[in-house]
A = this chain, B = another copy of it.
Amino acid sequence: MAGTGGRAGATRQRVLEATLGLFNERGFGVTVAEIAAACGMREGNLHYHFRKKELLIATLYERFQEEELAVAEAALGDAAAAESYAEYQLGWFALMWRYRCFYRDAFNLQHRLPGLKGRFMEVQARASAAVARVMALATEHGFLAIPAGRITSFVTNVWIVSSYWMDYLHTSTASAGLTEQQMQWGFGQVMALFEPYLTPAGRAAFSPLAQRAAALVLREKEPGARG
C-alpha cells in the first residue's frame, strides 16, 4: 500500500481533492481515467495510490464523516454570544457544500458501499446528540425558544431536511446539476425550520446567515480555489 507521509502523502491528498471536485461536479460516475487526467498523472500512477475507484469513494467518505463529527462536536466560542450559534450553523453549511456529492447521491453511495451502514448510524447518532446539546444551549441563553421535550424531534427534522434536500431537488426539478441558487434555496429551507423558534436576539444573529452561506459557496468558485 502507498504510504501516507511525505511525498506520497501529498500526492494522495492532491488526488483526493481533485476526485472530490469531480464527484461534486459530476457524481460518482466519473471514471478513473478522468480522475488521473484531472490530476495530471498516468492511470498506473493513480492505481498505485488507490487500487480502485471504490477506495477513493470510501476514503473520501471516511474524511467526510470525521469532519462531520468535528463540525457537530465543535466547541462554541462563547455559549452566551448569538454569533457562536451562527458560526456553528455555518460550519454545517460549509460541510454540506464541500461534500455535496455524498448528500446528492446518498442512495447510490449506500448501494456502492453497503458496509458503511454501521459507521453511518454511529456518526449520525453522535452528531445528532451534539446538535441537540447546542440547541439546548441556544435555548438556555435565550436565542431559541424550543420546549425541552421538542428538541429531539426538531433536530431530527433539521437532519432530514438537510440530508435530503439535494435528493428532493433531483426528483422535483428537471435540472441535473446543483447551482449556487439551489444551495441557497436549501439553506433557506433549513433556516425556515428555525424561524418560528428564533427569539429577537436569535433572529438578529441568524438573519445574515443566508448571505454568509452564499459567500461560502461562491468563494470556492473563484479561480484557483480548487486544484
Contact = CB atoms under 8 A, between A and B. Distances in A.
Interface of A: 106-107, 110, 117, 120-121, 124-125, 150, 153-154, 156-157, 159-161, 163-165, 167-168, 171-174, 188-189, 192-193, 195-197
A192 B153 contact: yes
Contact of A171 (B110, B171, B188): B110
Nearest to A147: B195
B189 A157 contact: yes
A224 to B, nearest CB: 35
A52 to B, nearest CB: 23
Q: Which of A117, A160, A165 has the most CB of B within 10 A?
A: A160
A121 B121 CA distance: 31
A188 B153 contact: yes
Contact of A192 (B120, B150, B163): B150
B189 A153 contact: yes
A86 to B, nearest CB: 19
Contacts of A196: 196-197
A161 B163 contact: no
5 contacts: A124-B171, A125-B172, A150-B192, A160-B168, A164-B168
Given A121-B174, A156-B189, A157-B192, 17 more contacts: A107-B107, A107-B167, A110-B171, A120-B172, A121-B171, A125-B172, A150-B195, A153-B189, A154-B192, A159-B168, A160-B165, A161-B161, A163-B164, A163-B168, A164-B164, A193-B193, A196-B196
